[in-house]
Amino acid sequence: MSRIQPIFVAALLGSAFLLAGCSNTARIARGKPLKNLNVGQILERYEEQAATWDWIGMRLDVTVDADGQRESFKASVRMAKDSAIWMSISPALGVEVARLLLAPDSVLFVSKIPGNKFYYAGDYDALSEWADTPLGFEDVEAILGGYPMGLDPEQDKFNSKVDGQLYALIGKYKRKVRRLVGVNDNALEPEDSLNIQLPTRRYERLRSRTEDDDLLIKRHWFDGVTFDPVRDQFDDLYYQRSVVLERGDFEAFDGGRFPNEFKVMITTVDGSATMEWDVIRKRFGRAYDFPFEIPEGYEQRTGF
């Protein structure tokens, strides 16, 4: 085979791959399902348009529903990729009530609420306890930064499925998980609920012999045309809780596509909580500072 032939074949395959989104647009218009793509193809298409940034500054409009109560506030966010996340929180009147500074290995938080003035300086345990789900710097950066949370293409193993006008990546799991949920990972559909099928005593025995990561099922959804990362879902069977992160209203900028609407839903055996925010304005590429001071007389606490 001449050198021209493999080059021609590679170019042809690349062109066909790049046209997948366009062909899906036509298929959707004709009422046909999306083309089947394997895991590698879906992730490659996502990477082609994924948001890449070094700095972000954002103003957010946030609503939280938890324990039967609803609260709304504004938040200013500054992020330096893989380095720092800074947040200032204020109610409608605009007076700052809290400030947060995250580094990869530390958390600083100060509450300025009258009658509840304190500060926290420590690791991510307190933040995870407050959210009732494990959180690290990478997780918060993904949640705010517009890309899939907890997705590790080099370590994670997935099955790919078509889910209406979306592609779904469903995490593969071990035999012990199949026994627990009563369904093989190949047969799990994107929207299927995962319920524990074992009696309590057998479940507790299985859990005592299992690492918690082995009982974490990941699912990620991508738009069938744009390959925007529209949803992540984590079913933690070890602690019987789930986390769903949804993104919408994606907008193109020089570094890719970034969502303007976010929603996080956390469900545990004790209840559920929902946080939604809209990006009112955003700016990429500007280097920010991260001012953080602990006022005199503030009590130090071990949690939020």
Return the pLDDT at 26. Answer: 76
Delimit the domains of the chain by residue range. Answer: 1-32, 39-51+147-280, 55-62+70-145+287-299
The tokens for 48 are 């082609």
Q: What is the pLDDT of residue 14?
A: 47
84 close to 108: Cβ distance less than 8 angstroms = no
Q: Which residue do the tokens 């007389």 mark?
A: 297
- Residue 14 tokens read as 């690349």
Of all residues in the chain, what percent carry a pLDDT higher than 90? 60
153 has pLDDT over 80? yes
The predicted pLDDT at position 13 comes to: 43
Q: How confident is the model at residue 212 (pLDDT cuts 50, 70, 90)?
A: low
Q: Give the pLDDT of residue 207.
A: 73
Instruction: Provide the residue type at 65 as one letter.
Output: D
Give mean pLDDT, residues 220-242: 93
Phi, psi of 164 (to 5 degrees): 65, -120
Query: Per mean pLDDT, which range of 11-20, 35-44, 94-103 is the poorest?
Result: 11-20
Distance CA 181, CA 176 (A): 9
| Predicted TM-score (pTM) of this structure | 0.86
Task: Compute the 3-state secondary structure of the chain and give helix, strand, coil in percent, each to the nearest 5.
Answer: 25, 40, 35
In the block, tokens 């939604």 appear at 276
The answer to whether the CB of 248 falls within 8 A of the CB of 230 is yes
Residue 11 pLDDT > 50, yes or no? no
Q: Is the pLDDT of residue 108 over 70?
A: yes
- Which residues, including other chains, have CB under 8 Å from residue 3's CB and lie 6 or more apart? none
User: What mean pLDDT comes out for the span 143-154?
Assistant: 92
Answer whether residue 2 shows pLDDT above 60. Answer: no
Q: Taking Cα atoms as reference points, which of 264, 265, 301 lies closest to residue 108?
A: 301
Quick: pLDDT tens for 156-189.
999 999 999 999 999 998 777 787 778 888 888 8
pLDDT digits (tens, 9 = 90+) for 37-83: 999 999 999 999 898 999 999 999 999 998 889 999 999 999 999 99
Question: What was the pLDDT predicted at 250?
Answer: 96
What's the chain's Rg over C-alpha atoms? 22
Give me the pLDDT at residue 1, please.
45
pLDDT tens for 246-285 read: 999 999 999 899 999 999 999 988 889 999 999 999 999 9
Q: Which pLDDT score is estimated for 117?
A: 95
CA distance 21 to 45: 9
Q: What pLDDT is recorded for position 238?
A: 81
Q: How far is CA 258 from CA 7, 152, 215, 253, 278, in A?
A: 34, 20, 31, 7, 12
CB 245 within 8 A of CB 232: yes
